[in-house]
Amino acid sequence: MGKSIVAIFLFILCLMSSYGCNHKQTALTEKDGIWVVYDRECRKCHKINGKGSLVGRFIYKMPNFTNTKWQDNVSDSRLIISVANGKGKMPGYKGKLKDEEIVDLVKVCVRSFYPPPAE
């Protein structure tokens, strides 16, 4: 009884969500359309919390987006260029994503981890 109410509620929630059910939603991805792109293209490496995979951080010098010192020392333009052209083990996204999407990924998504969200 209780379970079916929860199931119906979840079903309605999914209907209301414009992205549908099978796209794993999180509090972050619901915030904005650009998070859907982050989720699809960036999350597998940088993770939903922006800290990055352990292997990525220790072997491939992947930045931890929640590191305020790192955030303070990198400009938007540098990050946009890195995402567009690729850097180290990260592929470039120029041509694959729209220019505005690359800009928003940096200005909205990457910057949102600063200050780090409460755990």
Q: Which residues bind ligand HEC (CB under 6 A)?
A: 41-42, 44-46, 56, 60-63, 74, 78-79, 82-83, 87-90, 93, 105-106, 110
Cross-strand partners of 90: 87
Kindly state the smallest distance separating residue 107's Cβ from ligand HEC, in Å.
10
**Smaller CB separation from ligand HEC, 28 or 56:** 56
Distance CA 106, CA 108 (A): 6
Kindly state the smallest distance separating residue 89's Cβ from ligand HEC, in Å.
4
Kindly state the smallest distance separating residue 4's Cβ from ligand HEC, in Å.
39
